[in-house]
Amino acid sequence: MNLGYARISKADGSQALDLQIDALAAANVAPDHIYKDKASGKREDRSGLEACLKALRKGDTLYIWKLDRLGRDLKHLVTTVRNLSERGVGL
């Protein structure tokens, strides 16, 4: 199954998820399989990301617009990618 994750840093209306959602749709991610957050990447409590990572199963593929949408910092990104790989999830 294809799942997608999209995040914007500001919820004040100055940013929109549209470009990311369009890119995920072009990658054949169904709208109901796109998880979203409107929160800074530095925040640890990103409920959309947590739900997305929990929903992923072996053989699934996670689509993101850019790597910086996924990780809080380089260490978090590497850890997350390693965890996905160990679980048999594509990125």
Q: Which residues are catalytic?
A: 9
- Work out the burial of residue 49: count CB atoms within 10 Å of its CB; fewer than 13 is exposed, 13-18 middle, 19 or more buried: buried
Instruction: Identify whether 69 is part of a domain.
Output: yes
Tokens of 59: 């053989």
Percent of the chain at pLDDT exceeding 70: 89
| CATH code for position 50 | 3.40.50.1390
End-to-end CA, the chain:
12
Residue at 91 is within a domain: no
Structure tokens at 2: 């294809």
Q: Please identify which residue in the block is written with the tokens 């380089």.
A: 74
Give tens-digit pLDDT for 34-68.
Answer: 999 987 656 667 889 999 999 999 999 999 998 88
35 lies in which domain range? 2-86
Q: For residue 31, is it within any domain? A: yes
Report the domain count for the chain. Answer: 1
**Alpha-carbon span 1 to 59, nearest angstrom:** 7
- The whole-angstrom separation of Cα 35 and Cα 51 is 7
